[in-house]
Amino acid sequence: MKLVKIGAFGLAASLLAVAAQAGTPPAIYTAPQAQAGASDFSQNCAMCHGANLEGGAGPALVGQAFASASNNYTVGAIFTELSQQMPAGQPGSLSHTQYEDIMAYILQKNGYPAGSTAISYDKAMGDTTPLVSQVK
């Protein structure tokens, strides 16, 4: 019985260690932004990246195929790519608000929580927050 107790404690301790290491992703956008971003995405991005961000002519924008820890993505790098290069063929053609909202939507789909601080175009460009998808 003693061994079982030690085993359970060890398991709990290592689960805690994993949780501490992975951390909870920060809340860097608001729920209304993500909601608006969903429709902007479906109108401007889904034809290449898939209705559920699963990929198509363009790469997946959700899960480990997109942002695994080893990719070392940051919010700033992805925001810069999407606001300066996307939609492919018409880069930079959307409004700043639309790019903010779409970034919020991509974060939400990758398991980042909504909060009270809105993501802003100028700050998002240089945001060094790691972007590691929480979706397995």
> Residues in the site for ligand HEC, rule: CB under 6 A?
44-45, 47-49, 57-59, 61, 66, 78, 81-82, 85-89, 94, 102
Min dist. Cβ of residue 69 to ligand HEC (A): 14
**Distances 73 to 10, 76, 81, 113, 133 between C-alpha atoms, Å:** 32, 8, 11, 18, 10
Instruction: Using the minimum distance from each CB to ligand HEC, give the nearer residue, 48 or 118.
Output: 48
Instruction: Using the minimum distance from each CB to ligand HEC, give the nearer residue, 14 or 43.
Output: 43
Residue 134 near residue 25 (C-beta atoms within 8 A): yes
Min dist. Cβ of residue 60 to ligand HEC (A): 8
Min dist. Cβ of residue 67 to ligand HEC (A): 7
Closest C-alpha to 105, from 11, 29, 14: 29
Burial of 10 (0-12, 13-18, 19+ CB in 10 A): exposed
Instruction: Using the minimum distance from each CB to ligand HEC, give the nearer residue, 3 or 57.
Output: 57
